[in-house]
């Protein structure tokens, strides 16, 4: 019998939103920078982004990566930013819906209509985006739980992060499909028994289709 999981658990940045790498044009426009000023491309051109490669090798954390990028952009714009949230709010705060992946919205709606549970499990939702960002996104009101390490202080891939989300959903690990774009977090989910999809920011539709399959849903 094919698997039909009961809940879809999503990372936020990169999975629900387009990455900051994908929206350099929006960022440059919002911050008054010349087109093409921002050249770091992370997973889209890892060969040209040594800082990204360092993060992928676990030499620095994801938070360290974005702290450095915040400092870089602050220097370019002359803004006194000290936190990632300052950068993101300036770049995206005026129109947060513009950076939401359409594939994510479709997946969320399909999952909800099928009677499955929905959760966000993020290491830095409010830390990076600001506490008011999610209030501008009505679709998040339909989620059963949002577990954010900004407040819990428990970062993926610590097993306690996943276990807290499972407790909030009141479901066993094997009943949940976890989607994240960072391999270390995928391995953490699998270690506690969750089904997982390593989200490919280069092909979001295929990743959501894989998640649908684990949920027993059609991707059409």
Q: What is the pLDDT of residue 57?
A: 92
Q: Check residue 3 and give its pLDDT.
A: 67
At 1 the pLDDT is 35
Phi, psi of 71 (to 5 degrees): -60, -40
Under CATH, to which class is 7-17+100-215 assigned? alpha beta
Contacts of 135 (CB under 8 A, 6+ apart): none
> Three-state SS for 118?
strand
Comparing CA positions, the residue from 75, 57, 5, 14 lying closest to residue 216 is 5
pLDDT of 4: 79
Order the strands of the 145-148 sheet from edge to edge. Answer: 145-148, 117-122, 7-10, 176-180, 195-198
**In the prediction, which pLDDT does 220 show?**
59
- The answer to whether the Cα torsion of 186, 187, 193, 198 is positive or negative is positive
Q: From residue 148, give the alpha-carbon distance in Å to each of 49, 79, 178.
A: 28, 27, 15
pLDDT tens for each residue of the chain, 220 residues long: 346 789 999 999 999 999 999 999 999 999 999 999 999 999 999 998 999 999 999 899 888 999 999 999 999 999 999 888 889 889 987 788 889 999 999 999 999 999 999 999 999 898 888 888 888 899 999 999 999 999 999 999 999 999 999 999 999 999 999 999 999 999 999 999 999 999 999 999 999 999 999 999 976 5
Boundaries of every domain in the chain:
7-17+100-215, 24-96
DSSP state letters, 47-111: GG-HHHHHHHTTSS-HHHHHHHHHHHHHHHHT----SHHHHHHHHHTT-GGGGB-HHHHHHHHHH
Decide if 168 contacts 145 (C-beta within 8 A). yes
Q: How many CB atoms lie within 10 A of CB 2?
A: 6
Predicted model pTM: 0.90
The residues, ordered by sequence, that sit 6+ positions from 110 with a Cβ below 8 Å of its Cβ are: 212, 217
Buried b (16+ CB within 10 A) or exposed e, 31-51: beeeeeebebbbbeeeeebeb
């Amino acid at each position: 019998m094919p698997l039909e999981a009961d809940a879809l658990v999503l990372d936020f940045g990169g999975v629900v939103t387009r990455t900051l790498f994908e929206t350099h044009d929006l960022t440059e426009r919002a911050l008054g920078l010349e087109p093409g000023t921002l050249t770091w491309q992370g997973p889209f051109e890892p060969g040209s982004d040594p800082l990204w490669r360092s993060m992928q090798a676990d030499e620095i954390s994801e938070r360290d990566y974005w702290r450095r990028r915040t400092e870089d952009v602050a220097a370019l714009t002359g803004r006194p930013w000290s936190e990632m949230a300052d950068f993101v709010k300036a770049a995206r705060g005026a129109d947060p819906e513009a950076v939401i992946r359409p594939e994510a919205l479709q997946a969320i709606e399909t999952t909800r209509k099928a009677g499955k549970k929905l959760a966000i499990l993020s290491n830095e939702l409010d830390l990076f985006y600001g506490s008011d960002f999610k209030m501008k996104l009505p679709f998040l009101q339909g989620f059963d739980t949002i577990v954010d390490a900004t407040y819990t202080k428990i970062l993926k891939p610590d097993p306690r992060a996943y276990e807290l989300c499972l407790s909030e959903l009141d479901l066993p690990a094997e009943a949940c499909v976890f989607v994240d774009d960072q391999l270390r977090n995928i391995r953490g989910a699998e270690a506690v028994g969750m089904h997982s999809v390593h989200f490919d920011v280069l092909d979001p539709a295929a990743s959501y289709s894989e998640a649908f399959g684990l949920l027993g849903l059609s991707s059409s």
